[in-house]
Structure 1
Amino acid sequence: MLVEDYSPQKRDNKTIKLNTGFVIVGGGLAGVCAAITAARQGTKTVLVQDRPVLGGNASSEVRLWILGATSHMGNNNRWAREGGVIDEILVENLYRNKEGNAVIFDTILLEKVLVEENITLLLNTSIYDIKKSNEKTIDNVIGFCSQNSITYKISAPLFCDASGDGIVAFKAGAPFRMGAETKEEFGELFAPDTSYGELLGHSMYFYSKQENSPVTYRPPAFALKDITEIPRYKAIGKDDKGCRFWWFEYGGRKDTIYDTEEIKYELWKVIYGVWDFIKNSGEFDGVENHTLEWVGTVPGKRESRRFQGMYMLKQQDVIEQKTFYDAIAFGGWAIDLHPADGIYSKLSGCTQWHSKGIYQIPYRSFIGHEIENLFFAGRIISASHVAFGSIRVMATTGFCAQAVGMAAHMCTTNAILPKHILEGNYLKTLQNKLNIIGQSIPDIPIARDSNLVSSAKVTASSTLELNTILFDGEWMSLKTAAAQLLPLQANTAYEFVVEANAEEDTVLKVQLRSSENTKNYTPDLILETYKFQLKKGQQKVTISFKSTFKIDKYAFVTFIKNNKVSLKNSNKRFTGILSVFNGTNKAVSNTGKQTPPLDLGVDTFEFWIPQRRPEGKNIAMTISPAIKAFNVENSSNGYVRPWGGANAWVASLKDNKPTININWGKEVEVKEIKLFFDTDYDHPMESTLMGHPEDVIPFCVRNYRIKDQSGKVLVEKKDNYQTINSIHFKTPIKITELVIEVMHPSIDVPASIFEILCM
């Protein structure tokens, strides 16, 4: 029993002082990815989150799906899902939670953090102050946990602000911006004027469900009374829920930090008024049994402070796909700006303009000159308001934050400041360390001297030579133009034979297309066009192209829309090839073609996008000569996804025991083996709400064994589903040879490996 007498003096809370190597403030996706990355490298890390759950906007408190460069598969960014820790999280979520339950996703994030012994996690702890040791150096941050009434003082040589509103950077005095720059400041032609608005607002979501009997709804007094106050109210659907209502947005003309509570109340007013409209207006059929299951209590924030770093990303960097010497990640979401009046605006809920491909993001946008031991991460990084419209989405922020976590580890290990990463060989080391964990920085492969396999003789039991995409599928209508995207080889002219079925005599138009930028997947170059007279019924069509390429590159065998024609498709799927369609995706402002005003600084081009499985089957065809883009040499070329080429070893489906042999001809010492498998980087894997057709990607090798030169089994894995498999040996092994035996994922999908890394 505790009895304490009256104290005439003020009592203080219990205070705990922590001293660590790295402090991350903010447990959204960016903070989580930074913490896991740093911790796995060996850096003691404290992760501080002011909410009871991790994930920020991705958590069950807000329930926004995670997206990035893949953009709902609605743009031309092929194989662009972010790699590394964020990929690991999304693949894990697919395996456990393909239905998209936000509560389950909470547990996956929490588990990923709790299993890291180098992370100390403080939930429900709000950082409210900082102390400096000098003008440019933070000494500690101070926070309070509402659940245990403990004040924490956390000291470290390095800090990362991933808090969303930038509380640490703000308190430390770092320069920041709120609102939109003018067109004149950076020459950004998409910069909005004040009538459109200078800030993106907050959103809140709701979920509904059906009961077994009628449910009465009587709205609260504060609910919106007149639904016509929402100009787009006719877009409301009774079965929509969650982030389908991303356009329930408000606050763009408010202070999105200090007015957040006011904004929240306005969004509650809207949601409960909308539910009253759905239930009681009489305009919706079949809603008698519908009930309101959940309404968000925390607004999902889009924009507030943006801190000025050593480089500010701009519209031109995104649209023109600028390259940077200090690239550490890539982006690919559209430049996505919203009218400041949000749900009360008569304008479209968003204006999205896409680039023709992904773009690089520089390290300098995550550090500033003024506070020398502070990283920025998440949505507060150094970017203009326009560029922010692209980099702000969660898969991109988590992806970028992995670079912050890795850089922090390098700083603590080498006793240097974040700015010193730009000096000497540190930057190349950072880029390579990131690529080894799956970052896939564009045009920067894993360094050959990092991989012992580079010095070995590598052979395979078989290699796919793609001369036939089997004619074993259904008929696919050309009501939408379609194309087969293939990795063609240099100095080679190809002939293709397809099977067509015409409802009547008609003309089939076929083109060979490629991209002006060799690493893009926007077919903006039409190289050849042919017209074929089809008779009613089934027939083979032979297409002989004369054009060749100076280098290996992807090209599109393109079939122009004709409602009277169908093509035979195939049940066979292969790593590094897919079918695409000149389709639409309303969710990302894709109407088949992007046609911006001439004075906007944005490109005009067509969208050619995949379909989600089980749709999107390959177009059946014979190919002559066979495409030989899947050689075993790809397995140590430093690229872990398609980029300019397939970059994968793919076995022949006829090979009953696909095997790779790695022979050094001398004894080498190996402490770690990494295998990079194909989990379809084209699939966005939205974390919540949207369900997915499978829990394991069909291209992924599930079962494999690794043996040494004597036949001893070093590793045997069954039921793998992850992209990267890392095998660590407590004591380095000495070997002269490795034999990797894999099983085909299925009878329709051959085994493949992007990269084998031995260190």
Structure 2
Amino acid sequence: MNIYPQTGTRTFPSKQLNADLVVAGGGLAGLCAALAAAREGLQVVLIQDRPVLGGNASSEVRLWANGATSHMGNNNRWAREGGIMGEILEENLWRNKEGNPVMFDLVLLDMAKSQPGLTLLLNTTIYALEKTQRTLSQVSAFNAINETFYIVNADQFCDATGDGVLGFLAGAEYREGAEEPEELGEKMAPGDNFGHKLGHSIYFYTKHTPGPVNFVPPSFALQDITAIPRYKRLTSTLNGCDLWWLEWGGRLDTVHQSEEIKWELWKIVWGVWDHIKNSGEFPEAANMTIEWVGAIPGKRESRRFMGDHLLCQQDIIEQRDHYDAVAYGGWSIDLHPADGVYSTHDGCRQFHSKGTYTIPLRSLYSRSLDNLFLTGRLISASHVAFGSARVMCTCGLLGEVVGQAAALCKTRQLTPAQLAQREQVKLLQQQLQARGCYIPRQWLDNPAQGATVTASSQYILSSLALNGQWHSLSERMAVLLPVQAGKSPGEITVRLRSSSRQSLTCSLLTSHHAGNFTPEEQFDSCTLEVEGEQDYSFSFTRQSDHDQYMFLAFDAQPNVEIALTDTQLPGIMTVFNSLNARVAKHTRQIVDGDYGADEFDFWLPRRRPHQVMPALNFSQPLRCYCPDNLLNGRLRPEQQTNAWVPAADDPLPTLRWQWRAPQRVSILTLVQDNDFDNAMETVQMGHFLPVTPHCITHYRLWADETLLAEVTRNHHSVCEHRLPVPVTAREVRLEILATAGALPAIYSLNIS
């Protein structure tokens, strides 16, 4: 029994914490930043004002996280985010392939709570800070649940709050709304009619019930459904994020008027549901109910803070490679009308680049302060460029960059701006890649510390066996093939059938930009006369002048079928000139105005289990999986497969890294294939498999004859082994005991 006598006043308790890095905001960007810094040895305090992590991807909002893969609806092949963001996606797939948002919360909370050096403060809101001139030193926060004040001192700070709470309180320079076209030469800069800011959305879940369910709308529900110009798109089958376009608020202050926006969105949601349930137009909705409606909006845009580089439209469309490139994006430039659901414009205006673009470190810190990193959707970007960089997997990738950068700034005694200088930034670029973070058109120097590598075997692509199945060439289809400099694909044989004589054109198509998968030029072609069922051979003899992927393309000919194989190969896939309605309206990007974007065809893969591969025979076998690929420092298929793959009949695939003199080994990071083309959306969209087939699920690592690690049930593409005590060895050996069902592929074993 505790008895407290009357007093004049009381105060809530206060706790003081000290850290190397304070991360404000626990969305995917903030979480990745905190995890990355803690893994590099920093003491990190992560302050999140909500009861769960994940931000817009959490169970509070339930928007699926996506990034450069863009629902597999653009031409960015093998572009899924790596590093910690990739780890999150893979872990969620393993635990939660059904896409349950509550389980995704659990994945994120588990990662944060199990990370040494990371202190997590949930339900805690930052309301004040201290700084001296250009340096932050302390933040003050309050947790209304445990009625406790927190005073947190740190050397470095990261703003991942979305709205830029730290930057705002610290007086840092920022922008809201869209730049005028003249400022940056951005032709996509919107005018007043379209609006200068993106709004908020609220999502909802419906479910079917055994019997009729009555619905009485609240008094604040929208009364006139025709106030929504797109109301005729509503159906009883739409659910959750299918109605992302129930958006509003871009004309308001998206920070200080968020509550007003939320109430308007609730009005819209309940008006929409009233229409579906009670208008009589959807009789099947009688046996339906709403299971969940978001309590807080999913916010898209508010403040954007100024760094030493303002990412702009041209950076994205022209795919500019910055000297300080540390991350990448690949979502379309995706701008929404400010009036949202009430606008007569389409719900979005999207233009894709022809491939991924890079993001510089100079956009990831405040130029107003010496120790404030920026990540997530408040980075230094124009409104137009923000339309692409704002998506959550890109934000998560940027978070890891900032966490790694903070660790380097501490050990090297640098400010973020100093780290971004040409003579310093390579340290960060190399460290990121050593940890498994892919950066387009960059590579890791000397990943195996001068070792030579030998393999028990290698896969040589000469023939893909028939499986008895056929595919109609009802749309243009192509196989992505790696062709080396000075070589041609040679003679290729396929089996075709047709009930009547048909002409079929086969072409080799290429991209202009290194690493792109947007075919822009016909490199070579031939025409086949197909009748009956038989093998057909054709030759492409023109030699490539550089390493590149080529599209072995078959024109649409619905009266012709091509024979298929069961073989799945890493770094080689089939794509179709087709449409993904989630991210495009046509099979070709149509530019219906002077927007500074390019027109090109979309070539899209199919999701498992609907992928197909034609049975092919090569007169000149493709030797694209040699062990030397493990030493080139490239972590993805880009111009070549860049992977080692063992022969299909190798009973114990084994790799050996050897040195002439004993080498000290402390960290081994295995980077292997886990289908980097699979979008792995986090919630709502379920997935076919919990781990992709090429993934190595069981392996052993040896140093000479000492077993360093045996890993079972692996489901990650990047597997880091930090030895408690460094070892000295002449050889590191990797033995592959099992995969998830297909041939394994390894890009690198980074040894340090």
Q: Which residue of 2 aligns with 1:719?
A: 713
1:94-124 deviation per Cα after TM superposition (whole angstroms, max 9, x unaligned): 0010010000000000011111121111000
1:475 aligns with 2:473: no
- For residue 502 of structure 1, report the CA deviation from its aligned partner: 1.5
SS of 2:277 mapped into structure 1 = helix
SS of 1:554 mapped into structure 2 = strand
Taking structure 1 as the reference length, the TM-score comes to 0.97
Percent of aligned pairs with the same amino acid: 45
Give the 5 Å matches for 1:589-628: 589-597=584-592, 599-628=594-623
CA distance in 1, matches of 2:164, 2:468: 53
The 3 A distance-change label for structure 1 pair 367 and 119 is same
Q: Which residue of 2 aligns with 1:157?
A: 155
Q: Which residue of 1 aligns with 2:101?
A: 102
- For residue 590 of structure 1, report the CA deviation from its aligned partner: 4.7
1:459-494 deviation per Cα after TM superposition (whole angstroms, max 9, x unaligned): 111111111122225211111110000111222222
- For residue 598 of structure 1, report the CA deviation from its aligned partner: 5.2
1:306 aligns with 2:299: no
After superposing the two structures, state which structure 1 stretch, 162-171 or 230-239, moved more. 230-239
- For residue 319 of structure 1, report the CA deviation from its aligned partner: 0.1
SS of 1:11 mapped into structure 2 = coil
- For residue 454 of structure 1, report the CA deviation from its aligned partner: 4.3
Kindly indicate whether the alpha-carbon contact (under 8 Å) linking 1:351 and 1:589 is maintained by their aligned counterparts in 2. Answer: no
- For residue 4 of structure 1, report the CA deviation from its aligned partner: 3.6
CA distance in 1, matches of 2:312, 2:64: 26
Q: Which residue of 2 aligns with 1:570?
A: 565
Give the 5 Å matches for 1:141-290: 141-290=139-288
1:664 aligns with 2:659: yes
SS of 1:244 mapped into structure 2 = helix
Q: Which amino acid letter does the alignment assign opposite residue 324 of structure 1?
A: H
Kindly indicate whether the alpha-carbon contact (under 8 Å) linking 2:61 and 2:294 is maintained by their aligned counterparts in 1. Answer: yes
1:498 aligns with 2:494: yes
CA distance in 2, matches of 1:140, 1:195: 43
Q: Which residue of 2 aligns with 1:444?
A: 442
The 3 A distance-change label for structure 1 pair 606 and 392 is same
- For residue 416 of structure 1, report the CA deviation from its aligned partner: 2.5
CA distance in 2, matches of 1:139, 1:573: 54
SS of 2:235 mapped into structure 1 = coil
Q: Which amino acid letter does the alignment assign opposite residue 455 of structure 1?
A: G
Q: Which residue of 1 aligns with 2:504?
A: 508
Kindly indicate whether the alpha-carbon contact (under 8 Å) linking 1:75 and 1:590 is maintained by their aligned counterparts in 2. Answer: no
1:758 aligns with 2:751: yes
Kindly indicate whether the alpha-carbon contact (under 8 Å) linking 2:697 and 2:740 is maintained by their aligned counterparts in 1. Answer: no
CA distance in 2, matches of 1:665, 1:409: 33
Give the 5 Å matches for 1:34-73: 34-73=33-72
Q: Which amino acid letter does the alignment assign opposite residue 124 of structure 1?
A: N
CA distance in 1, matches of 2:460, 2:46: 49
1:534 aligns with 2:533: no
CA distance in 1, matches of 2:326, 2:503: 48
1:533-584 deviation per Cα after TM superposition (whole angstroms, max 9, x unaligned): 211x322221211221112210010011111111112111111100000000
Kindly indicate whether the alpha-carbon contact (under 8 Å) linking 2:62 and 2:683 is maintained by their aligned counterparts in 1. Answer: yes
CA distance in 2, matches of 1:225, 1:503: 59
CA distance in 2, matches of 1:546, 1:446: 33
CA distance in 2, matches of 1:744, 1:405: 34
CA distance in 1, matches of 2:673, 2:122: 35
After superposing the two structures, state which structure 1 stretch, 287-296 or 211-220, moved more. 211-220
- For residue 424 of structure 1, report the CA deviation from its aligned partner: 6.9
CA distance in 2, matches of 1:727, 1:168: 35
CA distance in 2, matches of 1:406, 1:325: 18
Kindly indicate whether the alpha-carbon contact (under 8 Å) linking 1:744 and 1:750 is maintained by their aligned counterparts in 2. Answer: no
- For residue 443 of structure 1, report the CA deviation from its aligned partner: 2.1
CA distance in 2, matches of 1:557, 1:416: 49
CA distance in 1, matches of 2:277, 2:444: 57
Kindly indicate whether the alpha-carbon contact (under 8 Å) linking 1:743 and 1:751 is maintained by their aligned counterparts in 2. Answer: no
Q: Which residue of 2 aligns with 1:385?
A: 383
Q: Which residue of 2 aligns with 1:31?
A: 30
SS of 1:409 mapped into structure 2 = helix
Kindly indicate whether the alpha-carbon contact (under 8 Å) linking 1:489 and 1:628 is maintained by their aligned counterparts in 2. Answer: no
CA distance in 2, matches of 1:661, 1:630: 16
Q: Which amino acid letter does the alignment assign opposite residue 744 of structure 2?
A: A
CA distance in 1, matches of 2:560, 2:274: 47
SS of 1:458 mapped into structure 2 = strand
Q: Which residue of 1 aligns with 2:294?
A: 296
Kindly indicate whether the alpha-carbon contact (under 8 Å) linking 2:626 and 2:643 is maintained by their aligned counterparts in 1. Answer: yes
Kindly indicate whether the alpha-carbon contact (under 8 Å) linking 2:65 and 2:393 is maintained by their aligned counterparts in 1. Answer: yes
SS of 1:195 mapped into structure 2 = coil
Kindly indicate whether the alpha-carbon contact (under 8 Å) linking 1:653 and 1:744 is maintained by their aligned counterparts in 2. Answer: no
Note the aligned Cα RMSD (angstroms): 1.4
Structure 2 unaligned segments of length 5 or more: list them.
none
- For residue 245 of structure 1, report the CA deviation from its aligned partner: 1.0
Kindly indicate whether the alpha-carbon contact (under 8 Å) linking 2:668 and 2:722 is maintained by their aligned counterparts in 1. Answer: yes
Q: Which residue of 2 aligns with 1:701?
A: 696
Q: Which residue of 1 aligns with 2:722?
A: 728
Q: Which residue of 1 aligns with 2:736?
A: 742
Kindly indicate whether the alpha-carbon contact (under 8 Å) linking 1:482 and 1:582 is maintained by their aligned counterparts in 2. Answer: yes
Kindly indicate whether the alpha-carbon contact (under 8 Å) linking 1:636 and 1:757 is maintained by their aligned counterparts in 2. Answer: no
After superposing the two structures, state which structure 1 stretch, 672-681 or 94-103, moved more. 672-681
- For residue 666 of structure 1, report the CA deviation from its aligned partner: 2.7
Q: 2:519 aligns with which of 516, 523, 526?
A: 523
SS of 1:36 mapped into structure 2 = helix
Give the 5 Å matches for 1:413-424: 413-423=411-421
Q: Which amino acid letter does the alignment assign opposite residue 77 of structure 1?
A: N
Q: Which amino acid letter does the alignment assign opposite residue 593 of structure 1?
A: R
CA distance in 1, matches of 2:535, 2:514: 31
1:11 aligns with 2:10: yes
Q: Which residue of 1 aligns with 2:328?
A: 330
After superposing the two structures, state which structure 1 stretch, 109-118 or 614-623, moved more. 614-623
CA distance in 1, matches of 2:604, 2:204: 30
The 3 A distance-change label for structure 1 pair 42 and 230 is same
Structure 1 unaligned segments of length 5 or more: list them.
none
Kindly indicate whether the alpha-carbon contact (under 8 Å) linking 1:575 and 1:678 is maintained by their aligned counterparts in 2. Answer: yes
Taking structure 2 as the reference length, the TM-score comes to 0.98
Q: Which amino acid letter does the alignment assign opposite residue 719 of structure 1?
A: R
The 3 A distance-change label for structure 1 pair 423 and 311 is closer
Runs of 4+ in structure 1 deviating by more than 4 angstroms, as ranges, are none
The 3 A distance-change label for structure 1 pair 410 and 708 is closer
Q: Which residue of 1 aligns with 2:541?
A: 546
SS of 1:730 mapped into structure 2 = strand
SS of 1:540 mapped into structure 2 = strand
Kindly indicate whether the alpha-carbon contact (under 8 Å) linking 2:475 and 2:577 is maintained by their aligned counterparts in 1. Answer: yes
- For residue 728 of structure 1, report the CA deviation from its aligned partner: 2.3
Q: 1:677 aligns with which of 672, 681, 688?
A: 672
Q: Which amino acid letter does the alignment assign opposite residue 171 of structure 1?
A: L
SS of 1:21 mapped into structure 2 = strand
SS of 2:232 mapped into structure 1 = helix
Q: Which amino acid letter does the alignment assign opposite residue 520 of structure 1?
A: N
After superposing the two structures, state which structure 1 stretch, 509-518 or 686-695, moved more. 509-518
Q: 1:634 aligns with which of 624, 629, 633?
A: 629
The 3 A distance-change label for structure 1 pair 635 and 419 is same
SS of 1:200 mapped into structure 2 = coil
Q: Which residue of 2 aligns with 1:460?
A: 455
Kindly indicate whether the alpha-carbon contact (under 8 Å) linking 2:652 and 2:735 is maintained by their aligned counterparts in 1. Answer: yes
- For residue 739 of structure 1, report the CA deviation from its aligned partner: 2.4
Give the 5 Å matches for 1:420-431: 420-423=418-421, 425-431=423-429
The 3 A distance-change label for structure 1 pair 590 and 541 is farther
CA distance in 2, matches of 1:569, 1:113: 45
